[in-house]
Structure 1
Amino acid sequence: MNLSQSPLRRLAGLAAGAVLGLAGVAVAASPAYATDAVIGKASYCDKATGEWVVDWTVKGNAPDGVEKFRFTEVKSEVGFPVKATTLPEYTVTEDFKYSTNEDIKAQQRVAGDKNFARLSVKVLFDNKHPVEASNTENFDGTCKKESQPSPSPSTSASPAPSQSPSTPAEEIPGDAEPIFELTCDTMTFGLSIPENGITIDLHYKTSKGEERDVSIAPGESKSETFSATEGFSVDVTVSATEDGETYSETLTLDYEQPADCEDGNGGGLPVTGAAAGGVAGGAAALLVAGGALFFVARRRKVKFTA
């Protein structure tokens, strides 16, 4: 009997085809487990600290429907002899803490004399599929801290100037002394300027309408005298020019007849110096003249050497 042509042979062939067809259906219907973990790395030498810096990334790749994963083991090792370290960004948890398909970053600092850093992980996805991954970053040579370079002579900072006034390269102008005298029928006002002073210009304008100008250079003493009676006054403008700029102040001197003129005889000795300071007009002259000089002096550039 020819079995190849028998009904039994044909039935056996049909049964085998059915089994293969069912197997194909089973494979097509099985769940997809296309999950894995990938570890990326990059490193550089931080010369400010003398340490290797490793930038790690862990990514749990998963298909749609798999949203989370967790670490079931994390092992970080550096150098030789091997030393275990920790990476707080990658922690073993019971809950599915980390999102799939996203880079989870961590930065690790390793001593400059170490020659490698290695990261190994075991991951479990929320579809209960476990995977493992590892990667090693090898360091080329030794990372050393660079010392701060000494400033070159061409760029070195100049020494701070000494603020001691005992070694000035340029002095503040000396104080001028006011000249102020009163008699029973005159009033005199001017300035005496020291050798280290500056030129002062005086412009006089009296209550009678008379105007006069006087320029007083360092080392000079000049003044103007005016006939005066009760009610007489003179406006005096004190001016100084320094570095192309002119500063000025104006004061008004009111004549007050000295007490020893009360007998009406006229004349009399002049009232000067400290005695004049007690007279209102003299006090004003002293204050304003000194103030004008200070006003100029404080704007003058004063340089000091070490």
Structure 2
Amino acid sequence: MNLSKSPLRRAASVAAGAVIGLAGIAVAASPAYATDAVIGKSVYCDKATGEWVVDWTVKGNAPEGVEKFRFTEVKSEIGFPVEQTELAEYKVTEEFTHPTNKDITAQQRVAGDKNFARLNVKVLFDNKHEVDASNTANFDGKCEKKAPEPNPSSSSPAPQPSTSTSASAPASPTPSETPSLPDDVPGEPEAVFEITCDTMTIGFKNPADGFPLDLRFETSKGEVRDLTIAPGETKSATFSATDGFSVDLTISVTAEGETFSETVNLPYEQPADCDEGEGGGLPVTGAAAGGVAGGAAALLVAGGLLFFLARRRKVSFKA
């Protein structure tokens, strides 16, 4: 009996191994669900109408072979008090109508006395993978309609030349008043840029009197990250990197209801000592140095430009 069972056992073992092998092939061949959704935003105050304007973007990130997605749930709110709204561009449908890896844009106008707008969505990709995303646009103060410039009345009588023969003392000119710089003009951030043999780190050191910073990272690998740096914070994002890798960084600063944005491309360059098998990195904070001078300098230029524009905007409102 033992001899007769032994071949059967061996046959069963071979069959089981074949089944396990086929299962492994099936798993390896199945599509990766490397999909996500990201909601972006920019905000400004429309002084012509006294409304907040929010430019939304929804992007369905997906790997090769996943072509389209659709919205399965959309919730748009403004407040306070909270009200439900609709965005015509973001509709729940049964068909996969939106292309992946592209921004789907929508503009929303909100009453100037509201203090936020919020967007929550669920998206389903054509590989049957469903994800959700949300973002909130917070409004700074109240958006008010700019008063119209006074027009000189056409019925006002033209000034008549004086008929007096007596000499009059010339009027002394009134010195022009130069507005003083407000005490609360924010300071500039310092760039944080570090390269190692296999990573790249990008960020800012935001001073305590700075503006909030909104950063969006879009890598050459298709990865998208968002990062907000409040005044007094130092934050950064680190990416795995090899030669040919780069990051498109969009920096946004909002002042008096208007958002200023600047995008800079930051390519990765591996340090020279990596060729010798040595580790380590070349950290740069603020001033640029060494082989990472170009990246740090680009960050400083972009950040400085935005803060110049934001400062000018704040001074023009408060002076």
TM-score, normalised via structure 2 length: 0.43
TM-score, normalised via structure 1 length: 0.44
Larger Rg: 1
